[in-house]
């Protein structure tokens, strides 16, 4: 005979305080667990949206990021004139030879300083990145010491607001516009004229070259062209989206490992709490268990009943923790991007896989915490259970 589900639900509701405390403990652990996964996913989503499958980016081999890459002018010119590179109606290559440098800016409110990425771009940069839109002010003038600032930088750094001036490279640069990168990593950058920025930092070479391919499948042809040209042996072309995804891997892995370490500590306490709750349930219902056994219910039915009760509590706690974690999607935070060593703004991102993983983790805590009490309940002697007071 199987113990009815109604009995399991009634048993949980009869101990409201201990049930609530157990569920809150599990909810806290699931909240931390989900928040960590959402943070790592948010970083990856932000950097992934920075690139496009239609573009390729060329960097120096073994360069872990753009700031570590160097491309001489000769190689950059060869890349932009490849036959696979798309061209604008006036015949110019849809490409941008760019220089990426790191500067220090003071945070608003006197909260210290942090690294900020400055990207020197060419005229085709906005056409290559259609997600980037100037939302206030205007585009900087080519040949002038002017910059436009990403939305994430303008919100967090002093002097990065429209009409202000930023000091770097030994000069003052006027902030003439603000731009929105649609949640991409560009929101955490400052853009200016590539030639002006190279001159300010005494640079004679570029960091990377970004170009639009005529056809996305042309990348394999470009790779073959690089292998055949001795002048391009030190450089590697990659799909822009894949390049920025790689930048997120190290950081996302670090967040996951650190978060999982904290989660393991928290989950141990939650499982002990669930175990204590279930042992208390067994002790309070010894006579009921004896009666059920006398009525013909099998040991496995008793075990399953208490195990399902524990899973029911953990699932409720998991749903609560997940619901609270979902609210984090409305917040934007910033941290140091290990790939570029500069500030990166991102939002927590919830995904179906995170929902499934979090709920599975809560059920695992419920199973571990409820298994031994369920076994204890199933092994109670009928006569002794009925004699219990």
* Nearest alpha carbon to residue 160 among 218, 104, 229, 102: 104
Do 252 and 311 have their domain in common?
A: yes
DSSP 161: S
Residue 179 lies in a domain: yes
User: Mean pLDDT, the chain, as a whole number?
Assistant: 84
| pLDDT score recorded for residue 134 | 94
Q: What is the mean pLDDT of residues 295-316?
A: 75
Q: For residue 111, what pLDDT band results from cuts at 50, 70 and 90?
A: confident
| pLDDT score recorded for residue 49 | 80
Do 73 and 128 have their domain in common?
A: yes
Q: What is the mean pLDDT of residues 233-254?
A: 85
Residue 53 lies in a domain: no
Q: What is the pLDDT of residues 124-165, one digit of tens each?
A: 999 999 999 999 999 999 999 999 999 989 988 988 999 999
| pLDDT score recorded for residue 235 | 95
Query: Which residue reads 């070479």 in tokens?
Result: 205
Residue 127 lies in a domain: yes
Structural domain tally of the chain?
2
Do 203 and 259 have their domain in common?
A: no
Residue 204, burial from CB neighbour count under 10 angstroms (0-12, 13-18, 19+): exposed
Q: What is the mean pLDDT of residues 336-362?
A: 83
Residue 2 has pLDDT above 60, yes or no: no
Residue 289 lies in a domain: yes
Do 152 and 279 have their domain in common?
A: no
Q: For residue 178, what pLDDT band results from cuts at 50, 70 and 90?
A: very high
Residue 266 lies in a domain: yes
Q: What is the pLDDT of residues 186-231, one digit of tens each?
A: 999 999 999 999 999 999 999 999 999 999 888 999 999 999 999 9
Q: What is the pLDDT of residues 31-72, one digit of tens each?
A: 888 888 888 888 888 887 888 889 999 999 988 889 889 999
Do 313 and 375 have their domain in common?
A: yes
Do 227 and 275 have their domain in common?
A: no
CA–CA gap between residue 76 and residue 59 (Å, rounded): 10
Do 44 and 66 have their domain in common?
A: no
Do 365 and 291 have their domain in common?
A: yes
Q: Which domain holds residue 367?
A: 5-48+247-387
Do 138 and 252 have their domain in common?
A: no
Q: What is the pLDDT of residues 248-305, one digit of tens each?
A: 777 777 777 877 777 777 777 777 776 776 666 666 666 566 666 566 666 677 677 7
Secondary structure in 3-state letters for 111-155: CCEEEEEEEEECCCHHHHCCCCEEEEECCCCCCCCEEEEEHHHHH
Q: For residue 247, what pLDDT band results from cuts at 50, 70 and 90?
A: confident
Consecutive H or E run containing 198: helix 194-200
Residue 56 lies in a domain: no
Residue 388 has pLDDT above 70, yes or no: no
| pLDDT score recorded for residue 281 | 63
Residue 242 lies in a domain: no
Residue 167 has pLDDT above 80, yes or no: yes
| Residue 73 backbone class (left: φ over 0; alpha: ψ -120 to 50; beta: rest) | alpha
Residue 55 lies in a domain: no
Q: Tell which of 167, 201, 233 closes a domain.
A: 233
User: Taking the model in full, what pTM does it have?
Assistant: 0.79
| pLDDT score recorded for residue 260 | 76
Do 146 and 217 have their domain in common?
A: yes
Do 218 and 264 have their domain in common?
A: no
| pLDDT score recorded for residue 48 | 78
CB 27 within 8 A of CB 318: yes
Instruction: Report strand pairing: 95-106 vs 113-121.
Output: antiparallel
Do 208 and 303 have their domain in common?
A: no
């Amino acid at each position: 005979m199987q113990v009815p589900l109604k009995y399991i639900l009634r048993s949980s509701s009869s101990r409201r305080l201990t049930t609530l405390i157990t569920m809150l403990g599990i909810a806290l652990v699931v909240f931390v667990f989900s928040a960590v996964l959402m943070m790592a996913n948010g970083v990856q989503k932000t950097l992934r949206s920075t690139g496009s499958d239609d573009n390729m980016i060329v960097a120096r081999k073994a360069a872990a990021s753009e700031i570590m890459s160097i491309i001489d002018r000769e190689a950059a010119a060869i890349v932009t004139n490849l036959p696979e590179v798309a061209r604008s109606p006036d015949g110019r290559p849809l490409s941008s030879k760019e220089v990426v440098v790191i500067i220090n800016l003071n945070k608003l409110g006197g909260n210290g300083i942090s690294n900020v990425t400055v990207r020197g771009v060419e005229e085709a940069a906005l056409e290559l990145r259609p997600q980037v839109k100037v939302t206030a002010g205007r585009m900087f003038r080519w040949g002038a010491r002017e910059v436009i600032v990403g939305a994430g930088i303008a919100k967090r750094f002093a002097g990065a607001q429209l009409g202000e001036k930023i000091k770097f490279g030994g000069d003052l640069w006027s902030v003439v516009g603000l731009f929105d990168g649609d949640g991409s990593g560009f929101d955490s950058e400052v853009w200016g004229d590539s030639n002006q920025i190279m001159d300010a930092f005494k640079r004679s070479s570029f960091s990377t070259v970004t170009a639009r391919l005529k056809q996305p499948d042309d990348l394999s042809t470009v790779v073959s062209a690089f292998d055949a040209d001795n002048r391009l042996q030190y450089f590697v072309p990659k799909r822009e989206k894949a390049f920025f995804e790689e930048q997120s891997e190290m950081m996302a892995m670090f967040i996951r490992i650190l978060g999982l370490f904290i989660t393991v500590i928290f989950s141990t306490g939650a499982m002990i709490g669930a175990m204590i709750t279930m042992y208390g349930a067994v002790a309070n219902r010894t006579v009921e268990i004896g009666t059920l056994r006398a009525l013909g219910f099998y040991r496995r039915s008793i075990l399953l009943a208490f195990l399902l009760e524990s899973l029911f509590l953990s699932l409720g706690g998991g749903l609560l923790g997940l619901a609270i974690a979902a609210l984090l999607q409305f917040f934007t935070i910033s941290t140091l991007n290990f790939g570029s060593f500069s500030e990166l703004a991102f939002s927590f991102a919830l995904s179906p896989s995170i929902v499934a993983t979090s709920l599975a983790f809560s059920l695992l805590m419920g199973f571990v915490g409820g298994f031994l009490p369920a076994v204890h309940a199933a092994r109670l002697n009928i006569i002794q259970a009925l004699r219990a007071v």
